[in-house]
Structure 1
């Protein structure tokens, strides 16, 4: 799945239409995707339905992030735990 396709799925999940926020959303989606993969989630699991939902929650969590602040929601953490478990060899 390309980053552009991923962006469209995140926008759908967030209920966002149009292209005004695409550059900001794209940066955040790529950052959350890399975070997920660095945590051990396989690309296959990032791109499945639960992965896209998790990524969307993560993007929503960091949408209004303030400088120096990093905080994902409990929902994101729970979903990440599930994805990491199914990504184990």
Structure 2
């Protein structure tokens, strides 16, 4: 899935207008951060294309959407699913 497609999915997850562009810049930053976090956790490029990865990226962006400066707070669900992606990356 391309970053543009992920942007649309994140907008849906945050209940933002899909055709609105006001938050595209900040959402793309968060998409890149979450993808980079997942890669650093051992998720392969192949697994980043998996349907589960789309959900994990949307969840991660949603988790960090309203954080204040200096905070990083992913949900327990994000970590569980990220671990599954990392595990499955080792199997592939």
Query: Do Structure 1 and Structure 2 share a fold, with TM-score over 0.5?
Result: yes
| Unaligned ranges ≥5, structure 2 | none
The partner residue of 1:32 within 25, 31, 34 is 34
1:38, distance to aligned residue in structure 2 (A): 1.2
1:9 is aligned to 2:9: yes
The partner residue of 1:20 within 19, 22, 27 is 22
Please report the TM-score for the alignment, with normalisation by the length of structure 1. 0.88
Please report the TM-score for the alignment, with normalisation by the length of structure 2. 0.86
| Unaligned ranges ≥5, structure 1 | none
Matches within 5 A, 1:1-89: 1-17=1-17, 18-89=20-91
SS in 1 for 2:21: coil
Runs of 4+ in structure 1 deviating by more than 4 angstroms, as ranges, are: none
